Amino acid sequence: MKDLTELTIPTYADVEAAHVRIAPHIHRTPVLTSSYLNELTGAELFFKCENFQKAGAFKVRGASNAVFGLSDEMAAKGVATHSSGNHALSLSYAAGRRGIPCHVVMPRTAPEAKKDAVRGYGGIITECEPSTSSREAVFAEVQAATGAEFVHPYNDPRVIAGQGTCSKELMEQVEGLDAVIAPIGGGGMISGTCLTLSSIAPGVKIYAAEPDQADDAYRSFKAGHIIADDAPVTIADGLKVPLKELTWHFVSNHVTDILTASEDEIVEAMKLTWKRMKIVIEASCAVPLATILKNPEVFAGKRVGVIITGGNVDLDTLPWIKS
Amino acid sequence: MKDLTELTIPTYADVEAAHVRIAPHIHRTPVLTSSYLNELTGAELFFKCENFQKAGAFKVRGASNAVFGLSDEMAAKGVATHSSGNHALSLSYAAGRRGIPCHVVMPRTAPEAKKDAVRGYGGIITECEPSTSSREAVFAEVQAATGAEFVHPYNDPRVIAGQGTCSKELMEQVEGLDAVIAPIGGGGMISGTCLTLSSIAPGVKIYAAEPDQADDAYRSFKAGHIIADDAPVTIADGLKVPLKELTWHFVSNHVTDILTASEDEIVEAMKLTWKRMKIVIEASCAVPLATILKNPEVFAGKRVGVIITGGNVDLDTLPWIKS
């Protein structure tokens, strides 16, 4: 792991530059509201719909910023990552837009649907065994063979600056927000949110929402140092990864509080969002609403931005349908 | 059944008046696009998202126009309808906004979820036996006892003028449309579309989309007179009802063509829309996309408005998941 001193902490100028850089490649996603959910929570909720984003998730912001910020010489060698989730899709999409290769190291045991999705966006998959040692070894081989630039899913200043464009748009779209809440896994979206809001709207409170069953960020926040869990199990599968030094920097300095919810509460909030807002969201994105419903006293009477991080769901296996 | 001469054919001035009347009670719904679906179909598709509408469907436009157009004296007696679908929800919602009663006659065998939804919007349910004769008898009793104004789900000029506001918005939101396509059941939405487009954009072609298994409008269109089926069976349960004289007037005079799709094609288009656009839509609203995919030569290279009519789905029983 790199020391924080080896990593550049991005600034708001990087967010502004990122927004210009990625604008041709992303959607300025809409903000939706629901009078039903406002009544239910007693808050005024503004849902920033990154589930409508290119490649189906906010991660395309950071990935595009990394890809389009490369020099032509570096870009020619392509980019690489290890991920089986939205970052892999997003990096593949962005690389495809630039016309460069994107190498993705994935466990051979990953669902075929996920592999197909990555290939659908043009990603080149190299399979590894389902262990950290195999993944690291295979990834090192791929990188050595190709010279591709590694783009970490979140512990990368280019990625965090890209994610910061989401809250920049939200602040342009909604006036007078009192708070913003987003899910937290590795902390890329929350870090981008912290970066932007601490610069342009320092009075806005920042809440992170996390599953009870993968509450390493919550425990890190309370303990004052990173606590990383080994393979937590939760329906919110985008939120299993631990904080790293760069995201910990933002979380520890700018987050107001981290709130958690149970698996049942997450599934209930997910289904409620589908039913009432008529949008398809991942379980991970339901964690903020679950925590708002659980902690009404924190949000009542407030204008709250809720970042819906993605919509890439396996429609054949929904958590509230027993098959 | 009333003769056409007994019914007033609404004009575009009625649509304009409706839009002013209902504006405080409805959403101006967004228009979404999908580059994936554009590539897949070869057309440029603009989805008018009435699934985001109040009460979850376009029907709130017509229902609100009927409710808010009543004199205070008539309104005091309330409104009434027989429906177990979106019209019942919408009329209940609109009546609630005006603070008047809404009586809904529903078969006692209707799913409890549908009854709960109507009650959730404030509707007062009177149950009948699941037969046309019982429904008509019970409805007559309710009307006699209350003096409530009957608002038919579609064969009503106030309702059609209200539905016409959807295409009015669509034409304001998207320039240069070549065609608009919407599902057809009783024909309320299509009639409103015909009314608006024939007045303000007569060059825009109007397509209606219907399930193979409930293709009474298609056969009526080809035969030149209304053919009504008895209880057709289709997953697109909003489209089982037959045309009536007022909607037939618009369909026979202004529709370019009626296209049909199989049950499998409808389910596939529904799932594709959920998966790619991340929106929850009813099976009925997937019929237009299913027919576009089936008839690419009709739409290729064209700018096509696609009306997504509603999003009230039972999330516990999805047609592509066998439980």
Task: Say how far apart CA B18 and CA B65 lie, in whole Å.
Answer: 6
Report the residue of chain B nearest A317, measured CA to CA.
B321
Structure tokens at A140: 């090192």
CA–CA gap between residue B213 and residue B283 (Å, rounded): 13
Q: Which tokens go with A54? A: 């290119």
Q: Which of A35, A50, A16 is nearest to A168 (CA)?
A: A16
pLDDT at residue B122 is higher than 80: yes
Question: pLDDT by residue (tens digit) across A283-314?
Answer: 999 999 999 999 999 999 999 999 999 999 99
Q: Residue B243 carries which DSSP code?
A: P
Give the bridge partners for B57, in sequence order.
B310
B320 contacts A323? CB cut-off 8 A: no
- Residue A3: predicted pLDDT: 56
Dist CA B204 CA B42 (whole Å):
18
Task: Give B131's pLDDT tier (boundaries 50, 70, 90).
Answer: confident
SS3 at position B149: strand
**What does the pLDDT read at residue B248?**
97
- In single-letter form, the type of residue at position B249 comes to H
Question: For residue A111, what pLDDT is reported?
Answer: 82
Residue type, B178: D
Shortest CB distance from B278 goes to which of A56, A316, A323?
A: A56
Q: Amino acid identity of A217?
A: A
Q: Do A280 and B271 touch (CB under 8 A)?
A: no
State pLDDT tens for residues B264-307: 999 999 999 999 999 999 999 999 999 999 999 999 999 999 99
Minimum mean pLDDT among A133-137, A188-192, B112-116, B158-162: which range? B112-116
| Alpha-carbon distance A290 to nearest alpha carbon in chain B (angstroms) | 19
Q: What is the mean pLDDT of residues B203-227?
A: 97
CB contact under 8 A, A315 and B275: yes
ipTM of the shown complex: 0.93
Distance CA A312, CA B198 (A): 40
- The separation between CA A101 and the C-alpha centre of its own chain, rounded to angstroms, equals 23
Quote the CA–CA distance of A276 and B254 in Å, as a whole number. 35
Contact across the interface for A315 and B279, Cβ inside 8 Å: no
User: Six-digit token pair at A128?
Assistant: 């590894």
Q: How confident is the model at residue B5 (pLDDT cuts 50, 70, 90)?
A: low
**Residue B52 to residue A32, Cβ atoms within 8 A:** yes
Distance from CA of B184 to the nearest CA of A (A): 21
**Residues of chain B neighbouring A311 (CB-CB closer than 8 A):** 278
Distance CA B162, CA B156 (A): 10
How many CB atoms are located within 10 Å of the residue B116 CB?
Answer: 10
Q: Minimal Cα distance from B29: which residue of A?
A: A32
Report the gap between the CA of B232 and the closest CA in chain A (Å). Answer: 27
Q: What is the DSSP letter of A124?
A: E
The domains of chain B, with CATH numbers, are 4-57+156-308 (3.40.50.1100), 60-150 (3.40.50.1100)
Let me know: does B182 contact B309? Beta carbons within 8 Å: yes
Sign of CA dihedral B39, B45, B46, B52: negative
Compute CA distances A31 → A323, B9, B30, B83, B151, whole Å: 34, 38, 11, 33, 34
Task: List the single residue in A56, A278, A321 with the smallest CB-CB distance to B311.
Answer: A278
pLDDT of residue A109: 87
* Residues of chain B positioned with their CB less than 8 A from the CB of A51: 278
Q: Residue B100 gets which letter from DSSP?
A: -
Q: Do B323 and A322 lie within an 8 Å CB cutoff?
A: yes
Kindly determine whether residue B321 and residue A322, on different chains, have CB atoms separated by under 8 Å. no
| Pick among B86, B97, B278, B314 to test the A interface (most A CBs inside 10 A) | B278
pLDDT tier for residue B114 given thresholds of 50, 70 and 90: confident
What are the DSSP calls for A19-68, one per residue? HHHHGGGS----EE--HHHHHHHSSEEEEEEGGGSGGGBTHHHHHHHHHH
Q: Which residues contact B174 (CB under 8 A, 6 or more apart)?
A: B31, B46, B303, B305
| Complete DSSP assignment for B250-283 | HHHHH--EEEEE-HHHHHHHHHHHHHHH-B---H
pLDDT for B3 equals 56
C-alpha distance from A276 to closest chain B C-alpha (Å): 8
Contacts with B311 from chain A: Cβ below 8 Å? 278
- Answer yes or no: do A278 and B280 touch at CB < 8 A: yes
Confidence of residue B109 (pLDDT cuts 50, 70, 90): confident
Q: Which of B172, B84, B96, B99 is nearest to B135 (CA)?
A: B84
| Secondary-structure breakdown of chain A: helix, strand, coil percentages, each rounded to the nearest 5 | 50, 15, 35
Tokens standing for residue B213? 């298994």
Contacts of A271 in chain B (CB under 8 A): 315
C-beta of residue B109 within 8 angstroms of C-beta of residue B76: no
> Which residues does chain B have within 8 Å of residue A25's beta carbon, measured at their own beta carbons?
none
Q: In angstroms, what separates the C-alpha of B279 from chain A's closest C-alpha? A: 4
- Residue A112: the pLDDT is 85
Would you state the structure tokens that stand for residue A133, as one six-digit string?
A: 């040692």
For the segment B184-199, the average pLDDT, to the nearest whole number, is: 98
**What is the arrangement of strands in the sheet containing A102-107, beginning at the earlier edge strand?**
A124-128, A102-107, A79-82, A149-150
Give residue B185's pLDDT band: very low, low, confident or very high (50, 70, 90): very high
N residues, chain B: 323
CB contact under 8 A, A280 and B281: no
Tens digit of pLDDT at every position of chain A (323 positions): 455 666 799 999 999 999 999 999 999 999 999 999 999 999 999 999 999 999 999 999 999 999 999 999 999 999 999 987 899 999 999 999 999 999 999 989 888 888 998 999 999 999 999 888 899 999 999 999 999 999 999 999 999 999 999 999 999 999 999 999 999 999 999 999 999 999 999 999 999 999 999 999 999 999 999 999 878 899 998 899 999 999 999 999 999 999 999 999 999 999 999 999 999 999 999 999 999 999 999 999 999 999 999 999 999 999 999 86
Interface of A with B (CB under 8 A): 30, 32, 51-52, 56, 271, 274-275, 277-281, 311, 315-316, 318, 320-323
Chain B residue with CA closest to A51: the answer is: B278
- Judge whether B152 and B243 are in contact, CB under 8 Å: no
pLDDT-derived band at B130 (thresholds 50, 70, 90) equals confident
